[in-house]
Structure 1
Amino acid sequence: MTKRIGILTSGGDCAGLNATIRAVALRAHHGHGWTTVGVRYGTLGLLERPVEAVPLDPDRLSAALARQGGTFLGSTNRGDPFAFLMPDGSRMDRSGEMLDGLKQLRLDGLIGVGGDGSLAILRKLLAPSGIPFVGIPKTIDNDVGHTERAVGYSTAVAIATEALDRLQPTGTSHERTMVLEVMGRDAGHIAIAAAIAGGADVVLIPEVRWTLENVVAHIARLRAVGRTSALVVVAEAAGHSDEAADPSADAPDHGVGEWLAKRLARATGAEARATVLGHVQRGAMPTAEDRLLASALGVRAVDLLAEGKGDHMVAWWNRQVIDVPLSKVVGRSRTVDPDGTLIRTARALGICLGDAA
């Protein structure tokens, strides 16, 4: 019977992580009489001697913790155990040291909160240890496979939508095109959701091939009917249209948002300004939806360990918490479906996606 479990957060931070940690510790204590240990700084904490870990006392995990952004345990998005970057620039396999750290903690199970990359690394790391492992999906990009929602996504969309709400009056006042660049390393989930919720005129995502010409034409149509400003949302991974005669000479200093604003101003003759949200999307107080999701997934993750069901990830699907074998998750990202509901909704609302459709 599992009696002492660990939890760590890995990868980029996001809202809802503290709510997840709290849910795991409370369920372990109240539901099963177990103790929970929090590993500090993701896998990096396993390299320290003694291991960087703290007991999670349920009496000290108040509801106030669930309201806080980030992760009080700390996290890391560097330090691949199998190719760890050393001070001299070389790479070294330090997975054995990390496994030894886990053994020192005397864990009967481990819960890892991370995106697809983190979950893949943790699964590989724990495979030879015999320690049951359960994953909880978290990423603002919402690109983990086999789950409709990941912890952190709802808050990121809310922040991007609020940014659009604030940019619209400025754009109208100065007759400008306002370009908002949002995160989305490989997927456009934040961009398409925020564009619909925030009433954007254009949204550009990596899943839909777009050209600058189509964007310029759409803005021209808006002006023809009396609109003097426009809202444009672009995912950081949307790429650049191939309109530039010499792309290298036209390269942006700070991402696609700046590039797009410069090109739109040149093509339309109207002012354009770029706003890059960047890490602002990660650090806010989590929305109610993220707190609910974090709590439900955290509780089920503990129960999976109680059932002896390791090597699984908990997921949200059809308004239910389910579990999925990690073998079906790792190495498979979930991007925006070009024929899915959100794309169809955006088109139906007259939002331009920069393609010919």
Structure 2
Amino acid sequence: MINFAIVGAGFIAQKHIDAINNAEGANLVAVCDTNEQRLEEYKELCNVYTDLNEMLEQQTDIDVVNICVPSGLHFKLAEIIAAKGKHIVMEKPMALTSSDSEKIIAIAEKANIKLSVVHPNRFRPAIRALQDIKSKGLFGKLSHANATVRWNRGQEYYDQAAWRGTKEFDGGVLMNQAIHNLDLFIWFMGPIKSVQAMAATRLRDIETEDVAVGVVEFESGALGVIEAATTIYPKNLEESLSIFGEAGTVKVGGPNAIYFETLNVSDINEEEKNKLIENIKEDPFGKPGHQWIIEDMVRAVETNTEPVVTGKDGLAPVKLIESFLESAETGKKVFLQ
């Protein structure tokens, strides 16, 4: 068994706990949070701590620590955990800057520990099927792609915690809500060469953007369009990823990018297409993405291999978002290299 601990007992921690409890080969041994009240519900489940250093010193059986604190604290905690030789599962975003993300990668490499970033949408059935189509070259030459997140996060969402919507600890719609979609955008289309964008804070009383639009050029020469907003009334409308190539047009959509809304690929006949669409409708989420991440970390530790979603994977969307916001601020095209 690989023993896991969690630091940060907020909302997302429950997904990690469920994933660890359901994952083969994983065992939860500790939860840490500076807020004692949050720890009450976990006291019968595992050991609890209010100090990370104390947990790492006393709980010597920990193999992996899952970082679930506000994003602005990721680098600081990763540094402490890596110094103790513990592997890391990092909640998204990896960090709020590419500089901190690169530092996390460097300290993990120096400490010879595994680092995995939580981008669980890669494991949804429709996304896995889309990746299979892409990996087989069935799209042919790619022309462009579209990443869209049209969600609602009302003011009450941001008011739940003082760190939400701040530049120091949280980030805006791109870093917080759209980052999983942007991870898929890059995963399918490859490295990005340049971005030109606009962003604004239109409806929410926050420091960061609540709506952003932009265009990108991939290193392959393909183009892309990004739209992200938390200003949609009255509820989430759409999260989608569309890919267009010389032999295929595919859109994965719905409120959370889980269904094939369009599936037209020259080498997939009508019967195969309908079967694939129906199979995904029957089980659109499949095994929870967090469980995939935990089981993959167990595999990586046991076999001494790299996790499927690496630190470099986590860096890519952070670098895109950073460049996106720089372009929005300066009004100029920004080159990522």
TM-score range for the pair, normalised by the shorter chain length: 0.3 to 0.5
Q: TM-score, with normalisation over the residues of structure 1?
A: 0.36
Per residue, is there more strand in 1 or in 2? 2
* Rg (Cα) greater in structure: 1
